[in-house]
């Protein structure tokens, strides 16, 4: 028995083109998506190894480091370790708790090794746009949408502002190719249109792949699938029991397949070293605001100076400004939903769209309120404490909401076309033109770019002369904190150091709760060194013995400082470790013996001087 009513089957306006002609048109659309993706990223392709998108340098450099880490592991004949001290030595990081982009990093390892990590990231960015659009296009076609309606729906998803802004630095969200395919397999299993075994296996494979691309997007997709199944069951209550057995069987197969592939990785994440937990988002989470849906950012073709300034001033950054659809498209979608609510395809897509957009408003105290309603009336308020959704940022649900909006648009266009007599082509042409015009405000501008920060002169020569053992810890100054992301870039482009102290990552604090970049038992010593490197005079006293304590914990085999010999930082490090072992270009390097590694031989003499310095508030 199938839950799929006649309305969700291919509409009576299905094309009568020969199969070869249909295939040609579909390939033309796919190549059109790819051309549009190149149009958005062309400034990066001018010099893909030396340019990155502007706006989120920290995250782009972090992803470059992950791509290099994955590639080096593949070059040595093994998969990347899920817990590694290559960053944040000696404690290390757990890759499963970070946006480590494992599957793309492994797949593009040859490109990374030959051309550099930034080239691999630009490839993934371009494929993220074209592939996401093509993915939804294929799914819409599979569920009966006509070619050109599906093409428009795919474009709404693949080039949505949500994906455009995610692509500024969040590659794991922007590569949204698999969610439509996962939803398609879920729908085939629960409706009876597919085989529980075959589709269950495919679903398990797709879920596993998405887990190693980005877990958060997988959680968002699972939530979307749950909304879809509940909406479908509510619409067809009498058929649910008839499909429950086969549906449960198919889902059980998918869980089994995913468990075999992902079991070890999930154990390493939740039961292995550096496991963590996260409290609910709290009073200031990453959420959408009502104005975000209608105020275009400055990276869209149609915007105003006021709307661009409002988007740019968002405290979470443009990479989290994800809700925009614009008044024209919102109006078209609302009219389409009301007019064609009886169509199961339109109704299911509309329910997903509305539910996800409402959930994207979050459940904490919203900025400027929400029409005076208390936060506990927002649905996400009751979900944000759950084990999985506590890790989800609500605003990112807009990515899949835009896919549902594209589906509403495509299926509604087909209903208009099927209702129009063949002699009245204007009754189809006018609504189609209105739909296209409603999508025009979503057209993106090409990314603004910025140069990749090259490694300092003497960087590679310094590490070559240090002759460090594999995995030897190195304290680089500036320390790789959130405000010094260039160190990750230098390491990604040169492979040195192989094990760095500090980093920019997600890890557990002493209570086991999630936090960002903690380079040691305390971060003040690292911040202090960064303040000296910046040339700023720190504002509060450095506790006596702190530097020696942190050096005893880090126990670096070498110190590498990007500075000249007449700076305050140089004098401070010389007081701790003596004269540099050598100078290479703009790099000072110290090769440390055992007694040097904790700074004991000079720290006592410098203790009174340390009291005179101050550390920055972070």
What is the average pLDDT score of the chain? 87
Binned at pLDDT 50, 70 and 90, residue 531 comes out as: confident
> 389 - beta bridge partners?
none
Token pair in block for residue 360: 């994207």
pLDDT at 613 over 90: no
Q: Select the more confidently predicted residue: 224 or 286.
A: 224
pLDDT at 382 over 90: no
Binned at pLDDT 50, 70 and 90, residue 510 comes out as: confident
pLDDT digits (tens, 9 = 90+) for 9-23: 544 454 556 777 778
Pairing verdict, β 473-477 and 558-562: parallel
How confident is the model at residue 392, as a pLDDT?
85
How confident is the model at residue 516, as a pLDDT?
78
Contact (CB, 8 A) for 533 and 494: no
pLDDT at 603 over 60: no
pLDDT at 352 over 80: yes
Residues 6+ apart with CB under 8 A from 48: 115, 118, 119, 122, 123
pLDDT digits (tens, 9 = 90+) for 216-254: 999 999 999 999 999 998 887 766 666 778 888 999 999
Token pair in block for residue 592: 């440390």
Lowest mean pLDDT among 17-26, 73-82, 192-201, 390-399: 17-26
**What stretches of 315-460 adopt beta strand conformation (E)?**
449-451
Distance CA 344, CA 228 (A): 12
313 Cα distance to chain centroid: 21
Distances (CA, A) of 339 to 35, 236, 329, 346, 408: 34, 20, 15, 10, 12
How confident is the model at residue 375, as a pLDDT?
63
pLDDT at 604 over 60: no
How confident is the model at residue 610, as a pLDDT?
38
Lowest mean pLDDT among 313-317, 429-433, 602-606: 602-606
How confident is the model at residue 596, as a pLDDT?
55
Q: Select the more confidently predicted residue: 375 or 505.
A: 505
């Amino acid at each position: 028995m199938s839950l799929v009513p006649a309305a969700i089957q291919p509409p009576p306006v299905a094309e009568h083109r020969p199969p070869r002609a249909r295939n040609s048109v579909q390939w033309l659309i796919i190549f059109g998506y790819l051309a549009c993706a190149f149009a958005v990223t062309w400034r990066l392709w001018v010099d893909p190894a030396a340019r990155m998108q502007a706006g989120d340098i920290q995250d782009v450099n972090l992803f470059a480091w992950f791509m290099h880490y994955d590639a080096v592991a593949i070059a040595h004949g093994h998969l990347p370790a899920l817990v590694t001290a290559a960053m944040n030595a000696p404690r290390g990081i757990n890759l499963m708790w970070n946006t480590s982009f494992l599957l793309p990093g492994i797949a593009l390892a040859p490109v990374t090794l030959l051309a550099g990590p930034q080239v691999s990231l630009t490839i993934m960015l371009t494929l993220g746009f074209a592939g996401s659009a093509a993915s939804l296009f294929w799914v819409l076609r599979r569920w009966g949408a006509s070619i050109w309606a599906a093409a428009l729906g795919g474009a709404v998803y693949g080039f949505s502002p949500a994906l455009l802004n995610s692509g500024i630095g969040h590659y794991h969200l922007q590569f949204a190719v698999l969610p439509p395919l996962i939803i398609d397999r879920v729908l085939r299993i629960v409706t009876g249109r597919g085989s529980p075994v075959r589709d269950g296996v495919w679903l398990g494979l797709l879920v596993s792949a998405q887990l190693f691309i980005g877990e958060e997007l997988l959680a968002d997709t699972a939530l979307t699938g749950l909304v879809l199944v509940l909406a479908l069951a509510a619409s067809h209550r009498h058929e649910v029991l008839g499909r429950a057995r086969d549906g449960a069987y198919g889902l059980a197969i998918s869980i089994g397949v995913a468990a075999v592939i992902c079991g070890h990785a999930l154990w390493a994440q939740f039961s292995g070293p550096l496991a963590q937990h996260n409290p609910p988002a709290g009073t200031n989470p990453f959420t959408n605001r009502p104005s975000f849906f209608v105020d275009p950012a400055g990276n869209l073709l149609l915007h105003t100076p006021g709307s661009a300034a409002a988007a740019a001033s968002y405290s979470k950054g443009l990479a989290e400004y994800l809700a925009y659809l614009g008044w024209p498209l919102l109006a078209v979608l609302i009219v389409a939903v009301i007019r064609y609510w009886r169509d199961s395809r339109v109704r299911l897509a509309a329910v997903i769209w509305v539910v996800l957009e409402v959930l994207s408003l979050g459940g904490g105290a919203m900025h400027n309120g929400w029409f005076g309603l208390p936060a506990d009336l927002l649905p996400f308020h009751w979900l944000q404490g759950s084990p999985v959704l506590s890790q989800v940022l609500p605003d990112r649900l807009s990515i899949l909401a835009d896919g549902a909006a594209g589906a509403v648009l495509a299926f509604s266009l087909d209903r208009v076309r099927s209702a129009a007599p063949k002699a009245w082509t204007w009754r189809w042409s006018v609504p189609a033109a209105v739909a296209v015009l409603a999508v025009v405000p979503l057209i993106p501008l090409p990314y603004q770019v910025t140069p990749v920060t090259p490694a300092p002169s003497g960087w590679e020569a310094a590490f070559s002369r240090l002759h460090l053992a594999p995995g030897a810890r190195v304290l680089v100054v500036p320390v790789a904190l959130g405000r010094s992301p260039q160190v990750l870039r230098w390491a990604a482009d040169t492979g040195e150091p192989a094990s760095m102290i500090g980093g920019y990552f997600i890890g557990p604090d002493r209570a086991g709760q999630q936090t960002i970049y903690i380079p040691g038992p305390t971060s003040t010593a690292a911040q202090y060194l960064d303040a000296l490197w910046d040339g700023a005079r720190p504002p509060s006293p450095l506790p006596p013995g702190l530097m020696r304590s942190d050096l005893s914990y880090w126990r670096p085999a070498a110190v590498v400082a990007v500075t000249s010999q007449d700076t305050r930082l140089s004098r401070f490090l010389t007081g701790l470790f003596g004269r540099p072992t050598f100078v290479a270009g703009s790099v000072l390097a110290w090769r440390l013996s055992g007694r040097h590694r904790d700074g004991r031989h000079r720290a006592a003499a410098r203790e009174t001087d340390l009291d005179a310095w101050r550390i920055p508030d972070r």
